[in-house]
Chain A
Amino acid sequence: MRYAFHWEVLWSGQSGRWLLQGLATTVELSALGWVLAAALGIVSGAMRTVPWRPLRALATVYVEFFRNVPLLVWMFFWYFGVPPLLPEAIREWLFRHGAEFWAGTFALGVYHGARMSEVIRGGIQAIPRTQFEAAVAMGLTTFQAYRLVIVPIALRLSIPPATNESLNLLKNSSVALTISVAELTFQTRQIEAYTARALEALTAGTVIYLVLCVGIAAIMARVEHRFAIPGLIARGG
């Protein structure tokens, strides 16, 4: 038996609008989650290499705690677990302003921040220790040495694995459908439910994820090229 495709279900009725809304939510959720993940990853990744044990310990606890619990559990944690701990007024406000979206953003950001942290740490540990020594030897504080020398070099070295991690984050944003964030996968399932055309709906979702990921990879490749450190092995792009 041959399957008869009915692609028109994707733009008839509500479907087209749902797909666009899903796309917009996925992009917003991922972008905000990414900013949080990048900030947490850079700070904690740097902290794991500083010559001061309490800071290292703190960052290690963060990384091991958050990356070793499934993302799905963190989604539930931020959505069901955290709001009851908040003051009444904030809780009210949250539920009127898309609590599930913010819970999803936090879950993604904090979870991927822990994974990004390892990427940044790897970048820092690839830098010869003498670079740090040269920086502090001219009078920079440890914080300045990290901010002006170590982290900028590490970020450049970390672009390929960080790109990989960013794509993971984007794809993992689909887990937010479990706390009913109306992102792309959520919307494709809605289309499927209304039209009973599973293959068409899933294909649409797949193609959109694919385009987003390839687009991000292309942008990151340009960033990598633009910020390449002269003298290191030239990378593709």
Chain B
Amino acid sequence: MADTVIEFKSVNKWFGKAHVLRDITLAVKAGEVVVVCGPSGSGKSTLIRCVNALEPIQGGELVVLGESLTRPGVNLSALRARVGMVFQSFNLFPHMTVLENIMLAPVRVRGLSEADASRVARALLERVRIPDKAENYPATLSGGQQQRVAIARALAMQPKIMLFDEPTSALDPEMINEVLDVMTDLARDGMTMMVVTHEMGFARRVAHRMVFVDGGRVVEEAPPEQFFAAAKSERAREFLSKILSH
């Protein structure tokens, strides 16, 4: 039985008075690919942003890679170095080249030499299938290429977990697959992944488990075959009918 690497224990989160995560209890095992879905504003982004402590929680406990995020004195930077994150808006640093973007954290956080970091970075560009863009600035790349660089940048830290928050939502349709393909490869290689996405084809093919969130609660958890064929909750069926109709 694989280890649990992310464990939400009755996690609660408020933004001011808004109660956006309600008693979330959820465990993710090493090597598992979990796709989080649900209506807009249901708390999906907040949920995965809690995993690398971009959002602090106000109730319950969240344990990631054996570290309790609520423990006083916890070293969040050290934890984040082991958890990669890919954002909807790519967030490459515009004043650095692709190579510099990828090398930054390995050099500054892991302490790699420039030469080693550059070798790692080039190998990763190979893996995300844009080896020839190393010297480009982000602004000169297509959205799909930028997102693949963002994935390479996260992988350069050799993370144990990868978080994706709608990684293809800002992309033109013809670029979505090039990003999903890279993510699929990653999942096949055994990466632990939590993915917020509306790409249900990807979810069907790659996810081990679907987590349906609504109103800040995990309403339903199921393997994709079961979730798509016969979701138990009315809310999930309604959501699926909307999202799968087009």
Contact residues of A with B, CB < 8 Å? 128, 130-131, 133-141, 144, 148-149, 152-153, 156, 227, 229-232
Please list the 9 inter-chain residue pairs (A to B) with the smallest Cβ-Cβ separation, ordered nearest first.
A231-B139, A139-B81, A134-B91, A230-B137, A138-B105, A139-B109, A137-B85, A230-B139, A139-B80
- Roughly how many angstroms separate A130 CA and B95 CA in the complex, as a whole number? 15
> Is residue B41 contacting chain A, with contact meaning CB distance below 8 A?
no
B55 — nearest CB in chain A belongs to which residue?
Answer: A133
Q: Across the interface, do A140 and B95 meet the contact criterion of CB distance under 8 Å?
A: no
Q: Across the interface, do B138 and A231 meet the contact criterion of CB distance under 8 Å?
A: yes
Q: Across the interface, do B54 and A133 meet the contact criterion of CB distance under 8 Å?
A: yes
Q: Across the interface, do A138 and B153 meet the contact criterion of CB distance under 8 Å?
A: yes
Q: Across the interface, do A229 and B95 meet the contact criterion of CB distance under 8 Å?
A: yes
What distance in Å separates the Cβ of A210 from its nearest Cβ neighbour in chain B?
33
> Is residue B14 contacting chain A, with contact meaning CB distance below 8 A?
no
Which of A130, A141, A227, A230 is B91 in contact with, Cβ under 8 Å? A130
Q: Across the interface, do A139 and B54 meet the contact criterion of CB distance under 8 Å?
A: no
Q: Across the interface, do A138 and B104 meet the contact criterion of CB distance under 8 Å?
A: yes
Q: Across the interface, do A137 and B52 meet the contact criterion of CB distance under 8 Å?
A: yes
A contact residues around B140 at 8 Å (CB): 230-231
What distance in Å separates the Cβ of B81 from its nearest Cβ neighbour in chain A?
3
What distance in Å separates the Cβ of A136 from its nearest Cβ neighbour in chain B?
6
B contact residues around A139 at 8 Å (CB): 77-78, 80-82, 105, 109-110, 157
> Is residue B70 contacting chain A, with contact meaning CB distance below 8 A?
no
> Is residue B154 contacting chain A, with contact meaning CB distance below 8 A?
yes
Which of A133, A136, A156 is B87 in contact with, Cβ under 8 Å? A133
> Is residue B94 contacting chain A, with contact meaning CB distance below 8 A?
yes
A150 — nearest CB in chain B belongs to which residue?
Answer: B93
B154 — nearest CB in chain A belongs to which residue?
Answer: A138
Q: Can you list 20 A-B contacts with CB-CB less than 8 angstroms, sorted by A residue number?
A: A134-B93, A135-B93, A137-B52, A137-B84, A138-B80, A138-B157, A140-B77, A140-B108, A141-B77, A144-B108, A149-B104, A156-B95, A229-B139, A230-B94, A230-B138, A231-B138, A231-B139, A231-B140, A232-B94, A232-B139
B contact residues around A137 at 8 Å (CB): 52, 54, 80, 83-85
A149 and B91 in contact, given A138-B105, A138-B153, A230-B140 (Cβ under 8 angstroms): no
What distance in Å separates the Cβ of A231 from its nearest Cβ neighbour in chain B?
2
Q: Across the interface, do A138 and B109 meet the contact criterion of CB distance under 8 Å?
A: yes
What distance in Å separates the Cβ of B47 from its nearest Cβ neighbour in chain A?
15
A contact residues around B77 at 8 Å (CB): 136, 139-141
What distance in Å separates the Cβ of A147 from its nearest Cβ neighbour in chain B?
9
| Bitwise interface map of B from 181 to 214 toward A, beta carbon under 8 Å scored 1, else 0 | 0000000000000000000000000000000000
What distance in Å separates the Cβ of A53 from its nearest Cβ neighbour in chain B?
15
B contact residues around A141 at 8 Å (CB): 77
A152 and B95 in contact, given A128-B89, A137-B54 (Cβ under 8 angstroms): yes
A contact residues around B93 at 8 Å (CB): 131, 134-135, 149, 153
A142 — nearest CB in chain B belongs to which residue?
Answer: B77
